[in-house]
Structure 1
């Protein structure tokens, strides 16, 4: 891969994977094939059977009288040992989750020319297309996406928000507001589980940035040779993922083994992003994860990247660096953090670039 820094705030235009899948090719085009990268065939299934992503019950976290202490302990271990958990009883209704999933499915079912009405423009990642394609010889992921900045409201570019299906905008608006409430609760309990009781951190997510990426992973004739999304860690505070399938496609790296996240109706997958890794002074890790694809079935997912307020500096929490504890990461302004992320070398570790 080209190691010169590339500005990642825009993406080159590439063909729709959905359109490619409609043609029912027997073979995958060379640009999508990943098994020549030196690690052989991609081990899609099964993932390691002895490992299972932890579950956290928000109802128990909220219940200070009985279950909270034990659930906080489980949350701490999930974030420290895994960096990811499935959240149940989070407060979003099943109908709200289903509505959002249906709108995304209906958008991707539109004819290509209709979807292209909301295509990415030069110089931005927002809209319908692909992310982080910076060169003509780069390997491509087996997915199509639409990426939209949802909160704060003034960040929205409504000319890129689909008006078809007719309820798409209204559903996305409502969903992003509900996700913000869940995020603030999760971050509040994360700070409690770290023992720092810092309301400023969770409150900063009230004025934070919420960007939503909706993915379509079409069926693939050679699923063991491609990736839906290549391995990466998120640069967010936390990431909340709604899986709209009844079969696994999301995998997290645990103890050098890829582990499937089994979709559970009504659950939201929460993973730590690199901002919380920094704020926790490395106690919680942003985990590496990827998406794999299916030979016969299409899969949709809705991923919300949740960031603290732009006024919040990004650095280790004060209570985790005093009294002889050394800061592992530098303190950066919000703007410095994003500038570093969008202008980095693609083949260098972003999190390592933030270390002291």
Structure 2
């Protein structure tokens, strides 16, 4: 029997969901069945339940900037999530990354296992946050990579060398995500009325992690959870869909709303670092992933954080304007330690409130 993980920083080994799907199962194995959850909830297609779309060209154009920043501010406040177009990341960078991810998940299982997770680390190929032998499992396989932009801190033992261009494409893509994170956080800070340049610069040499997800076809998609409902703990998450199939859902006004993929767009999702910095003006939204009966879905999530010298706490300008701080201020190491050493059922954000 595997040794129980000491914290959420490592995960027990579990079967590959992709391999289960390849076997052509007609029913889902019991450990994946989530009859306790309403998985797919259809939502009326009314304008108020359409995910906001932000145009970066309007944010940088002085003539349209003020209006688009207001739309951005509203998206962050009302949804905590939006899609962004004309973001400046080249089609080549996006398509190369998609191609390499597809190539990796097309490999035989034994080849993928060359980059499997090891005890004591969440990094590598496997599943995240499996802390007991009885725990219900999610219908996904993933690769998790830490410090993707830091030459001295990244662990190349978990970076696939097959497909041969994987590492090179990831290197380019991570630089693009970093540049985009600096731009987006500057405009978000402008919407809040805090020191925009100063705040966004903390993301230039920030901490960037990546989770690459594979959601294989599922014989009973309404009985499984692709990815359980959760909120992100980082600053912002930049999500690239590798296809045109909707699988990401965000909770809005009690409804699970599909985030419909838009060609060339990226999904921007606020995490708890941004919620805390905004002193609760913005919220990190609950979101989840659902499976599909006939199609596999691949996605690439880049978790963007400010650099490790930055304290995580409400922006001074927001406190000085008369609002009391809602959250404690922590060093980023304390903040992450607090997250990884808590119980899964404990609300992380609530534990940081004053």
Using the size of structure 1 for normalisation, the TM-score is 0.96
Instruction: Please say if 1:114 is aligned against 2:144.
Output: no
Match of 2:268 in 1: 270
Match of 2:256 in 1: 258
Q: What is the 5 A alignment of 1:176-195? A: 176-195=174-193
Q: What is the 5 A alignment of 1:24-35? A: 24-35=24-35
Please give the per-residue CA displacement for 1:294-317, whole angstroms capped at 9, x wherever unaligned: 000000000000011000000000
Please give the per-residue CA displacement for 1:198-233, whole angstroms capped at 9, x wherever unaligned: 322211111111111111000000000001100000
**Change over 3 Å in CA distance of 1:304–1:48 after alignment to 2:** farther
Equivalenced residues, count: 348
Match of 1:49 in 2: 45
Residue 104 of structure 2: SS of its match in structure 1?
helix
Please give the per-residue CA displacement for 1:50-109, whole angstroms capped at 9, x wherever unaligned: 211000001110112x10000000000000000000000000122211110110000000
Of 127, 137, 142, 1:140 maps to 137
Residue 175 of structure 1: SS of its match in structure 2?
helix
Residue 213 of structure 1: SS of its match in structure 2?
strand
Matches of 1:316 and 1:78, distance apart in 2: 20
Match of 1:222 in 2: 220
Matches of 1:5 and 1:264, distance apart in 2: 39
Match of 1:151 in 2: 149
Using the size of structure 2 for normalisation, the TM-score is 0.96
Match of 2:322 in 1: 324
Match of 1:170 in 2: 168
Match of 2:88 in 1: 91
Matches of 1:292 and 1:73, distance apart in 2: 32
Shift, 1:5, TM fit: 10
Of 180, 203, 218, 1:205 maps to 203
Matches of 1:163 and 1:6, distance apart in 2: 30
Please give the per-residue CA displacement for 1:247-300, whole angstroms capped at 9, x wherever unaligned: 210000000100000001100000100000000000010000000010000000
Matches of 2:51 and 2:323, distance apart in 1: 30
Of 56, 59, 68, 2:57 maps to 59
Matches of 2:70 and 2:229, distance apart in 1: 28
5+ residue gaps in structure 1?
none
Instruction: Please say if 1:233 is aligned against 2:231.
Output: yes
Match of 1:314 in 2: 312
Shift, 1:30, TM fit: 0.7
5+ residue gaps in structure 2?
none
Matches of 1:197 and 1:337, distance apart in 2: 22
Whether the 8 Å contact between 1:48 and 1:258 is mirrored in structure 2 is: no
Whether the 8 Å contact between 1:250 and 1:289 is mirrored in structure 2 is: yes
Match of 1:302 in 2: 300
Whether the 8 Å contact between 1:42 and 1:226 is mirrored in structure 2 is: yes
Residue 348 of structure 1: SS of its match in structure 2?
coil
CA RMSD of aligned residues (A): 1.3
Shift, 1:48, TM fit: 3.8
Shift, 1:236, TM fit: 0.6
Residue 199 of structure 1: SS of its match in structure 2?
helix
Match of 1:243 in 2: 241
